[in-house]
Amino acid sequence: MGFSRIYTKVFSFQISNLMIYWADHLHACLFHSNWISALPCLVFKSEDPNGPMYYKGMYHLFYQHNPSSPLFGDIMIWAHSVSRDLVNWAHLKPALCPSDSYDINSCWSGSATILPSGKPVILYTGIDSKKHQVTNLVEPKDDSDPLLQEWVKSEKNPVMVPPSDVEVDCFRDPTTAWQGLDGKWRVLVGAKTRDSSRGVALLYHSDDFVRWTKFPNPLFGSEVTGMWECVDFFPVSINGTIGVETSVNSECVRHVLKASYGGHDCYVVGSYDPETEKFLADSDFSGSVSDLRLDYGTYYASKTFFDNAKNRRISWGWVYELDSKEDAIEKGWSGLMSLPREIWLDESGKRLVQRPVEELKNLRANRVCLHRKKLEGGSVLEVSGITASQADIEVVFELPDLEDDEEEVEFLDSDQSDPQELCKASVQGVYGPFGLLTLASKDMSEQTAIFFRVFRCHEGYSILMSSDHSKSSLTTNVDKSSHGTFLDMDPKHGKISLRCLIDHSIIESYGGGGRSVMTSRVYPKLAIGEEVYLHVFNNGTKTVTLSSLEAWSMTKAHFNSNDIQ
């Protein structure tokens, strides 16, 4: 269960027209909004993705849900949706609801594990009768049912309780479990210690998945982050984009530890030794802008799973709201889900790379293309022929004269610079800002700029990637803070690519081939429906080459489609 509680809105699932729209027109209250059609039955509050898995031909996504209000409430349950293709979804009845002393005050976040027998089990956080956070176990009533519509709680619950050195309300969100060569199961639980603000990933062992024993030392911790929520731990291959099952551990993989804190999903990459139970990370969490993040925008409480149907690891995150409680109540819902993303380790072995799952391309229609366009300083070029409110855009920029103009490019001490302070698309630099003006009104009074800007730095060049929200809406009661990060690539030796998935009020932006990802949650008032425009722009003084642009309208996905049953 994430810091989600302080936000307001129901949940919508973005799936580029693919959004499972349970309240918004975009990422469908379960996903994005307009990509899906509204389903009044789900017009409430939804949050953290829980227990995603692939089972007997079906993709399952559970998620935190308040069935009675668009605000976070005293009773949260596990809602449940299924899909054959990660695009078209059906909503099922809730999987977990409070019922016993160990979860009577809510069923909070957790994860699914597929046992060697092929049966799935779930560990989740229960808020017990004393308001303590405990870990509980459930299994399917009928594991021959591909929809997994019935779940049975273990008679041994709770299977884990807060240890003496951990706050009773800071012990939650168990991970997917993994099995070592010794046959023992391992699982992590996010926590905060009593004597400090130290965030930790507590490690537990079990021989039978029912009786769990805490390992003496946490797998990893940080003195500066505070509570760790929605911890995730998984292996990634060092040889390409293929995903690996969670229990895999060999010289061919590295491990990723993700922790949610401070409103962000941050991670470190390192080596895990199951014999000593030590995780040696390449870096530490700092609680600052220097931390590696899965997403540099409005994104939290993510969860991954291994998709054995296509040998890939898929991640989902919660897109929280940036407007007020009053807006949520008026709207009747809050909270959305990101698009599902494939995730792997980049060639350097230093960070993760992400891209939207391939299945989303099945929604593409009305393709338009531009090639080899010179964008002189101050130019704005409209992209027409697609539905700009629901679109998938891939664009590539080149800077052919960069080395000749090196001395003119602004110098930036990137080691000490905060990218958030540089996120104004209206500022004129030498190379940039250049990129896309999305969700723009006809008079340009509303627009969300997704852009790059190039600086010189001690190591050569630094590329800022930003989402400028200062003009994203004429509404005044929303948070319009912009997002920014430095892209890990050299503009002298590669083209600068950007892919944006636009869905009415959500934009997911993938820069540098997915090296950095940024989710923008915005609230346009003029740029809606057919009154939405898309532009390529260059606000720098130097000419930028638009190497290529391909854009597609996105068609709607289906909800509760008959072919899922």
Catalytic residues: 48
- Could you give the CA distance from residue 216 to residue 250 in angstroms, rounded to a whole number? 24
- Sign, Cα dihedral of 449, 454, 458, 460: positive
Cβ atoms of 456 and 406 closer than 8 Å:
yes
Burial 85-102 (b: 16+ CB within 10 A, else e): ebbbbbbbeebbbbeeeb
Task: Give CA–CA dist 108/158, Å, rounded.
Answer: 13
**Ramachandran assignment for 146, one of left (phi > 0), alpha (psi -120 to 50 degrees), beta (any other):** alpha
d(CA 416, CA 459): 13
Distance CA 529, CA 144 (A): 44
Q: Is the dihedral of CA 281, 53, 307, 46 positive or negative?
A: negative
Exposure of 182 by Cβ count < 10 A (0-12 exposed, 13-18 middle, 19+ buried)?
exposed
d(CA 177, CA 114): 9
Task: Give the number of C-alpha atoms closer than 13 A to the C-alpha of residue 451, restricted to the C-beta side.
Answer: 32
Largest CA distance in the chain: 72
Closest by Cα among 14, 8, 10, 61 to 33: 14
